[in-house]
A and B are shown apart, each in its own frame.
Chain A
Amino acid sequence: MHRSTYLVSKLAWAAFTILFVIVLNFFLFRILPGDPARAGVRDPRLTAEAQTAIRERFGLDKPVINCFASLNPLEPGDCAVNPLDTQFFIYAGNLLRGEFGISYHTNRPVVEVLGERLWNTLLLIGAGQILAIVLGMALGILAAWKAHTPVDYGALGFSLLAWSLPTFWLGIILLFWGSAYLGLPVGGKYTPGIDYANSWEQFADLARHLILPSLTYTIVFLGEYMLIMRSSLVDVLAEDYILTAKAKGLNHFQILKDHALKNAMLPMVTIIALNLGFTVAGAVQIESVFSWPGLGGAIYEAVNRRDYPMLQGAFLLLAVSVIIANLIAELLYSYLDPRVGRVNQS
């Protein structure tokens, strides 16, 4: 298998998986119980006409797909309808145009709401992840280099502790401490009711709001990254080729830089990619503790309100981000490890 074949096959698999998720995502929400027309407006006085109007507005009067009015097998529909005029193909067509439907609750386009929330989440996990990756790797490298010394044991202890702290608990403690002693805001993205003199002031306010949630996030992931970096590097440093490098007269720094890190990065890439994929879902706990208007909170609210278009959009977004994160990890693999995606030619 040639290298470009590897890349193409990975891309094709990612595209195929996304396609599968799109289909699954559609039927999943049609199987779920509850009538959105009723759930949206909980008023017993809602007339039949009004309900029909709501159904029409959300396109729920159309058959789900050819021959099926709904996904209830006992309720067969008309097979003669124009297939493009069914819910499934309207959904697929809308997706192609980048439309995810209208939120039952806010009556705003799902794309708009999700986009806003996604941006906030990316801000939070971006700051937190970058810090966690940099600090976790640095601490892991230090611990591996000083393996079985007090420095190593100290770093290990700290990381195990950080990893095992419950996220919400750590968030609350930091919230108490930060707001009481450092005067940091207790939640939200901006201080309400402030007129900013300039965009710099606005940014400073945002940064102050970002400190505590991203610090919580950093501490939660730092431990995991440190432990994986350490154990991976300790393994690599025991390899024969490290002894070869020492015998060649390379110094400690050169050995680490030129021979150990690239090999030790492989497990790190996996875990970072997986974490990134999943945390686009939003660190729900952190977002709740700090009232951060992120994606996790949006999903939580949408579940409570049975806001299916929101959930449908959010699920698709999550699935796609996990798939893309995995794809990036695989592509990074083939860059880091020449054995991936090539065949032994000897």
Chain B
Amino acid sequence: MSHEVKNRSPLLAVNHLSVDYVDPPHPPAAALREITFTLQRGEALGIVGESGCGKSTLMLALMRLLPAAGRIVAGSVRLDGVELLDLDEQTMAALRWKRIAMIFQGAMNALNPVRTVGEQIAEAIRLHEGVGDRRVLARRVGELLDLVGIAANRRDQYPFQYSGGMRQRAMIAMALACSPDIVIADEPTTALDVMIQAQILQLLADLRRQLQLSILLVTHDLGIVAELCDRVLVMYGGVMAEYADADTIYNSPAHPYTQALLRAFPDPTRPAQKLAAIPGAPPRLNDLPPGCRFAPRCPYVFARCHMAAPPVYAITPTHSAGCFLVANPQGGAA
């Protein structure tokens, strides 16, 4: 799935986005720092990291749906050149789902249990396209369900009458209801069994080709990213670790965290190889290390890592990493 990176203006451009969680009287927690990436039309970008690395915070920040304690303190989010962070709430609400839709973990609790699946899909169409005719809505909902492989006559059923995989499909149908430019998929296959996972990923891949969708795929599963994504953003502790196209990430990772993450993943070509866990735990937001956030767990750590946070260095125009080793491969040995 090679993607040709053209020199046109990106559909979505996120620049130096930083988010704090405030909880007075405690000092604000730096949940997200200096996140920069772009998403082209039709491109799939994987956002990868451990639990608590800020993936979900990033997604919610893009939609301006952070919980009350979350504050976007710096940066910009441009959709087709329009700065989303400057829009008033009403304009932003009109843009949600119409331009950027989200696929939550539908297998869990992302669908309202007391309303039919059809109603919940129709609601988005009614809201954003002003369609009020019940028959038109029913037909549209039927088509959407059909698109994701659910029989249209199940539109009047409730989420609890669906299986986990079907709920996830219904969630995808709902996300596609208003033909959005961008679909953010937040761990879309979590809590599904492997067979269903594969089906859902195949569905996403098909839909993407069919509808020219741009996809932001949030996951902790590198295997899923390899299947679906053109480019990958690896996050660690709220900062960018590495950002490159998928081939580069898998074949020549520059950041020690990316390397460790890959070693912690099974390699089908070497089934006998033992998986290497990364020692330690991800940093807690209220107790961040002073320098590089990965320093306490990094095998190549040297003195400078504990003193300053590394900037994001460009290795090639399409490959960058936030590590001192990129600028100075000898590191502490030099």
Question: Contact at A248–B161, with CB atoms within 8 Å?
Answer: no
Question: Contact at A244–B166, with CB atoms within 8 Å?
Answer: no
Given contacts A241-B109, A243-B65, A338-B160, contact A262 B114 (CB under 8 A): yes
Question: Interface of chain B, helix or strand or loop or mixed?
Answer: loop
Residues of chain B contacted by A243 (CB below 8 angstroms): 65, 104, 110
Given contacts A240-B105, A346-B166, contact A246 B112 (CB under 8 A): no
Q: Identify the 6 closest CB pairs spanning chains A and B, nearest first.
A: A249-B96, A240-B109, A346-B163, A241-B112, A249-B93, A338-B158
Residues of chain B contacted by A258 (CB below 8 angstroms): 115, 123
B68, closest chain A residue (CB)? A148
Measured CA separation A247–B184 after assembly (Å): 11
Question: Contact at A247–B101, with CB atoms within 8 Å?
Answer: yes
Residues of chain B from 48 to 95 with CB closer than 8 A to chain A in the complex? 63, 65, 90, 93-95
Measured CA separation A337–B115 after assembly (Å): 9
- A82 contacts the other chain (Cβ, under 8 Å)? no
- A263 contacts the other chain (Cβ, under 8 Å)? yes
Residues of chain B from 92 to 108 with CB closer than 8 A to chain A in the complex? 93-98, 101-102, 104-105, 108
Residues of chain A contacted by B212 (CB below 8 angstroms): none
Given contacts A239-B109, A250-B127, contact A336 B114 (CB under 8 A): yes
Cβ distance B62 to chain A, nearest Cβ, rounded Å: 11
Per-position 1/0 for A231-252, Cβ under 8 A of B:
0000000011101111111110
Question: Contact at A240–B110, with CB atoms within 8 Å?
Answer: yes
Given contacts A249-B93, A249-B96, A346-B163, contact A263 B104 (CB under 8 A): no
Measured CA separation A18–B312 after assembly (Å): 75
- B248 contacts the other chain (Cβ, under 8 Å)? no
Interface residues of A, CB < 8 Å — how many?
A: 25
- B329 contacts the other chain (Cβ, under 8 Å)? no
- A72 contacts the other chain (Cβ, under 8 Å)? no
- Residue in B112, B160, B163, B166 whose beta carbon sits within 8 Å of that of A259 in the complex: B112
Residues of chain A contacted by B113 (CB below 8 angstroms): 241, 263, 337-339
Measured CA separation A345–B160 after assembly (Å): 8
Question: Contact at B110–A346, with CB atoms within 8 Å?
Answer: no
Chain A residues with a Cβ under 8 A of chain B: 239-241, 243-251, 254, 258-259, 262-263, 336-339, 342, 344-346
Cβ distance B286 to chain A, nearest Cβ, rounded Å: 19
Among A243, A245, A339, A342: residue with most chain B CB under 10 A: A243
Residues of chain A contacted by B123 (CB below 8 angstroms): 248, 250, 258
B65, closest chain A residue (CB)? A246
Residues of chain A contacted by B109 (CB below 8 angstroms): 239-241
Residues of chain B contacted by A336 (CB below 8 angstroms): 114
- B128 contacts the other chain (Cβ, under 8 Å)? yes
Measured CA separation A30–B165 after assembly (Å): 62
Residues of chain A contacted by B111 (CB below 8 angstroms): 241, 244
- B37 contacts the other chain (Cβ, under 8 Å)? no
Given contacts A243-B104, A258-B123, contact A249 B128 (CB under 8 A): yes
Question: Can you give 5 contacting A-B residue pairs, CB < 8 Å?
Answer: A241-B110, A248-B174, A249-B124, A250-B127, A339-B113
Measured CA separation A258–B157 after assembly (Å): 17
Question: Contact at A344–B114, with CB atoms within 8 Å?
Answer: no
Residues of chain B contacted by A251 (CB below 8 angstroms): 90, 93
Cβ distance A298 to chain B, nearest Cβ, rounded Å: 42
Residues of chain A contacted by B98 (CB below 8 angstroms): 249
- Residue in A239, A245, A246, A339 whose beta carbon sits within 8 Å of that of B158 in the complex: A339
A343, closest chain B residue (CB)? B161
Measured CA separation A241–B104 after assembly (Å): 9
Question: Contact at A247–B65, with CB atoms within 8 Å?
Answer: yes
Question: Contact at A339–B160, with CB atoms within 8 Å?
Answer: yes
Given contacts A243-B65, A247-B65, contact A337 B114 (CB under 8 A): yes
- B313 contacts the other chain (Cβ, under 8 Å)? no
Given contacts A247-B96, A248-B123, A346-B163, contact A240 B114 (CB under 8 A): no
B177, closest chain A residue (CB)? A248
Residues of chain B contacted by A248 (CB below 8 angstroms): 96-97, 123-124, 127, 174
